[in-house]
Amino acid sequence: VRVPRVHRESSTVRVLTLERLGGLKPDDLAALERGGLDPRIVAERLFAQYLSMIFVHGFFHADPHPGNLRVLPGHVIGYLDFGMMGRLGRATRESLAEVVLAIAQRDEGALSAALLSLADFDEEPERRAFEADVAELMDQYAYRPLSELRLGRLLEQLFSTSTSHRLRIPPELFLMVKAVTELECLTRLLDPAFDAVAAAAPFIRWVHEERLKPGRLLEVDPSGKIVHEI
């Protein structure tokens, strides 16, 4: 990963002066080929880096169009324009991981429960009606291999279904969905066989392992009150 270095000596409170990054735009397949760069590696690295931003760090670049990205020698990814960034708290990241896991397992019951865990609500929706709507949505993908799923689009549909049941999805997740959808378009251009769900698997596994670490089994706030217990 490369980000532009800040030239502080040439910056002021009103002017930010950054290093100029070279490299190639990731959607210029001909230029990548001339530069000896493999588009499939670019797709794999880009998506892995975004999954790390979302699930591991909870702080992500929210505008990954090709103009904000550069591919440098050695398949290094350069990032530009940090004007639109998103944050996800740990609880949100963990619930999101459960949503993606349930999608991968095609488990409508677990998916409904994960969406309820992810959302806020004043009154819990009628569970059977909510699960029926989630199942109906997932039925559209029942006979498609996971590699054909568009994760960003499916998450958008699931969040829309949730809001129709008066669930409040954290607004930062819509920013995340926008970024993932935009990134999937780019990775599919780079590698038409790219499987976003398979790429997410190691990060979902990491989230689950983190939750089971001894330090997370019992956490207390400064007053001594237990805030997390398994």
Going by C-alpha positions, the residue among 67, 71, 92 that lies closest to residue 81 is 67
**CA 12, CA 30: separation in Å to the nearest integer?**
39
- Is 63 labeled as catalytic in the residue annotation? yes
Q: State the Cα–Cα distance between residues 177 and 152, nearest whole angstrom.
A: 5
63, 122, 133, 139: the catalytic one is 63
Question: How far is it, in rounded angstroms, from Cα 196 to Cα 180?
Answer: 10
Q: What are phi and psi of 58, to 5 degrees?
A: 65, 25
Rounded Cα gap, residues 120 and 140, in angstroms: 26
Eight-class DSSP state of 70 = E
Distance CA 152, CA 199 (A): 13
Among residues 44, 161, 155, which one has the least CA distance to residue 96?
155
Task: List CB contacts of 218: < 8 A, sequence separation 6 or more.
Answer: 226, 228, 229
- Provide the annotated active-site residues: 63
